Amino acid sequence: MTSVMPFRGDKMTVRAFISVDLDRNENIVEFASALKRAEPTLKVVDPGQIHITLKFLGETDEKKVPAIGDVLREAARGIPPFTISFKGAGAFPSMNRIRVIWVGVNDVLPLATIAGRLDERLADLGITREARPFAPHITIARARSDAPHPALRQIIHDRKDMEFGVQEIKTIRLKRSILTRCGPEYHTLEEVTLS
C-alpha cells in the first residue's frame, strides 16, 4: 500500500471514487477520435484518465479517508493480479438516446468480487450501497444532449463486437476528483497493490 497524496487545505470533503486505472489503449483512442470527428460537441474522456469505477463515493468526509484506505486493503486481500479484456461498444441509456458511450469489459469476476466487498464494507462507514448490480465498463465520451446522433450510432455499431485489447490489473486506487473548467482532474489518495 502506498499513500500517494497527502491532504492539505481547509476543504472538509473530497469528491472521491475507487477505480482501476487503465493504460493508454490505441484502439480506444482511435474510437474516441472517430466519435469526436463525427460529433464535435461530445465530451471525450482524456485517454490518460480512462478507468473502471469500482465504487463512486461522491462528496466524502476527509476524516473517513484513512478508514476507506483500510477497506480498500481488505477488499483486495487474497486477489492476485489478473487480466481483463475490452470488447464491444455501446451507449447509455440506449442507442436512440446516446448520453454515455462505453467500451465493454470482460473477465470481470475479480473486479466484481472487489466491488462487492467494497460496497458491503463501505456501508459500515455510512456510504450508500449501490442500487444496481456492478456492470463494469469504460466511459469513452458523454453527449451534451439527447439529440439523434445517426453518425455516432453507426460508429458505435461498427465496433459492437470489436476486441479493443487486454490489460493486467495490479492495483486499485482511491481517487480524488477535482472538477475544473477544462474537465476533471484525478489525484490518487491511496493505492493498493494486488498480491
Active site residues: 51, 137
CA atoms within 13 A on the CB side of 134: 23
- For the record, the C-alpha cell of 54 comes out as 469500482
Q: Are 111 and 18 in contact (CB under 8 A)?
A: no
Q: Which residues contact 180 (CB under 8 A, 6 or more apart)?
A: none
Beta strands 98-106 and 82-93, pairing class: antiparallel
